[in-house]
Chain A
Amino acid sequence: MMSAAQHAEEAQAAAEHVGEAEHGADEAFNAGEVIIEHVSNSSLDHPILHLPSIAGIDFSVTKHVMMLWLVAGGLFVVITLATRRYLKQERLVPTGFMSALEWLVQVIRDSMVLPNVGPKFVNTWTPLILTLLVFILVSNAIGLVPIFEVLGLVDRYVLSNAADSESLINSVLHGGSTTTANYNVTAALAIITFFSIIVAGTMAHGFVKHWKNLVPSGHPWPIYILLIPIELMSMFVRPFALTMRLAANMTGGHIAILSILSLVFIFNQVFESALLGTGVGFAVAVPLAVGISALEIIVVMVQAYVFTLLTSVFIGMAINVHH
């Protein structure tokens, strides 16, 4: 039984491999597959670093986990170094990158956290909001930069490695690099928001009072039978909306860009002439893709801003309860 299952699995893998080889051989272009490949996470079956499963959860390091670490590590190094250098110098006024960072800290504190959360808890929640903002912003933006695609080109044509070799570079090529386009990631971030709201309410009012604050007081009891479930569901709806908005916006933008760029290859096949197809495709697709990329830059910033703004609004709602 066991060996049969193993055998079947092996056979399937072998078939897949043959299929891939054929796919590579006849160079047929499937736009949908390519786009999904560039937007979604790398397959769990071929992780970059295989780790054991704990309690049925596969902790293997996939492309998106690696991107998370890259973004987090980069942010930590850059921001901490800049801050340390700034704090070490004698002058009060920051320069260069630090002035931008300080401007960001000041703007977030004074115009996002302070009006929503109130003066009492500003310094408690500003670090969370700032971390969320820079993390989401950089995660969003890094997807617009084709680092791995360039790496892949270098690997393929400069180092002349085969497309299916087992090199590290080749293994990081699969999957998209925008972690925030994966709703697992945005759901995790929304869960952070979800628990931050509870922690904020508990810190401000105490644990029991926080849950009481969820429902407006001073109504006859039959209303509460209706209100309590609705409020409880609202509690889950908010992080769900955060999750879906961010993931959908990021995925949508990338799909739009990739679809338009796919026109080059589709025209190639339609016209059955590489020169004509590529020429027409370039003329149509590249200006459009540039336009959408420009739009994406705005979307990247707005979505990071909206996520953090809504987080601070929710935290503020838990702290400053209006009745």
Chain B
Amino acid sequence: MPDPSDHFLARSLQALQDNVRRSGPAATAGYALIGAILLLGGVGHLVDRWAATSPWFLLTGLLVGLVVGFYQLAKTVWKI
């Protein structure tokens, strides 16, 4: 039985998998940063529209989003 790990394609795939797996936490943190800013900014924007308090909730939301995003990033970095 030939060892499947000998094939070039299989090895490339293995390398790709390893890299994606290792980049998993970093990707999570990166997307969490943007996602947090977008989500909380969006929530702030909606609250502003509902309560007519523009732009205070939007600004607060963006700021909190930044904090949450960077907290996630910091957690990932410290873990590694």
Contact = CB atoms under 8 A, between A and B. Distances in A.
| A–B direct touch in complex (beta carbons closer than 8 A) | yes
Interface of A: 107, 111-112, 115-116, 230, 233-234, 236-238, 240-242, 244-245, 305-306, 309-310, 313-314, 322
A244 B21 contact: no
B24 A310 contact: yes
Report whether over half of chain B's contact residues are helix, strand or loop; otherwise say mixed. helix
B68 A233 contact: yes
B72 A234 contact: yes
Given A237-B32, A238-B32, A313 B68 contact: no
A310 B71 CA distance: 18
B21 A233 contact: no
B35 A238 contact: yes
20 contacts: A111-B14, A111-B21, A230-B67, A233-B40, A233-B68, A234-B32, A234-B72, A237-B39, A237-B40, A237-B65, A240-B39, A241-B34, A241-B35, A242-B31, A244-B35, A306-B20, A309-B21, A309-B24, A310-B28, A310-B31
Report whether over half of chain A's contact residues are helix, strand or loop; otherwise say mixed. helix
Q: How large is the interface on B (under 10, 10 to 19, 20 to 34, 35 or more residues)?
A: 20 to 34
Interface of B: 14, 17, 20-21, 24-25, 27-28, 31-32, 34-36, 38-40, 64-65, 67-69, 71-72, 79
Given A107-B17, A111-B17, A233 B36 contact: yes
A107 B24 CA distance: 16
A24 to B, nearest CB: 37
A305 B36 contact: no
Contacts of A234: 32, 36, 68, 71-72
Given A236-B39, A238-B32, A241-B32, A313 B24 contact: yes
B21 A237 contact: no
Contacts of B72: 234, 237
Contacts, number: 60
A190 B59 CA distance: 26
B31 to A, nearest CB: 4
A310 B32 CA distance: 11
Contacts of B39: 236-237, 240
Contact of A237 (B17, B25, B69): B69
Nearest to A236: B39
A112 B21 CA distance: 7
Contacts of B31: 241-242, 245, 310
A231 to B, nearest CB: 8
Contacts of A237: 32, 35-36, 39-40, 65, 68-69, 72
A242 B39 CA distance: 12
B11 to A, nearest CB: 13
A76 to B, nearest CB: 27
A2 B36 CA distance: 45
